[in-house]
Amino acid sequence: MPGISGRFDLNSVEWRRVTDPACKAFLVDFEYSLLGYDHATGRLDMLLRYGKGGHCRRHRHIASTATLVLEGEQILEEMDAEGHIRHIHRKKGDYALASADALPHIERGGEQGGTVLLSMTALDGLLFEYFDDDLNSTGTVSITEYVNSWTQGVPYGARQVCL
């Protein structure tokens, strides 16, 4: 498995910041760090870090995903096809395992932010699908795209997806 970061020190890993000023529904502002990946097995491990008020983009995990909250909190709002919202609140030390067809959601940190470890397995290579405010798909990102953007120094999904 190719490794990117050989240390698990949240102060020494390389962080990349993602923002999306086009998104008006909520503040897209988070950081991520690629830890390692393996194209042959469809595995990618990464860290996500949220400051106060920052969210990820609206997305769903296409890959099976194990989540471990390392610091602070992770707060999710899942949206189903009927428009119902399910609130999920995870605290430091909480672990979750999601199947490869999760519901669209947004996530953020708690009052003091949050940092999570995501370990994903994508048998077809696809990690995430992004959505606009009306829950229309705006595209996907694969392990290959994610790793290529990392090695080029460009945040993955740099295209605006919150329309």
Report residue 119 as tokens.
Answer: 């370990």
Distance CA 116, CA 118 (A): 6
**Cβ neighbours for 82, distance < 8 A, ≥ 6 positions apart:** none
Task: Give CA angle at 160 (150, 36), nearest 5°.
Answer: 20
Pairing label, strands 114-121, 64-79: antiparallel
**Cβ neighbours for 150, distance < 8 A, ≥ 6 positions apart:** 4, 16, 34, 156
Report residue 94 as tokens.
Answer: 């909480």
User: pLDDT digit string (tens) for 72-86?
Assistant: 999 999 988 888 999
Position 159 scores a pLDDT of 47
Position 25 scores a pLDDT of 81
What domains, with CATH codes, occur in the chain? 16-152 (2.60.120.10)
Position 51 scores a pLDDT of 86
pLDDT tens by residue, the chain, 163 residues: 566 666 667 887 889 888 888 877 887 889 999 999 999 999 999 999 998 888 888 889 999 999 999 999 999 999 888 889 999 999 999 999 998 888 888 899 999 999 999 999 999 999 999 888 788 898 998 999 989 988 888 776 544 444 3
Query: What are the φ/ψ torsions at residue 145 (nearest 5 degrees)?
Result: -65, -40
> pTM of the prediction?
0.87
Distance CA 99, CA 18 (A): 25
**Cβ neighbours for 71, distance < 8 A, ≥ 6 positions apart:** 10, 92, 113, 114, 115
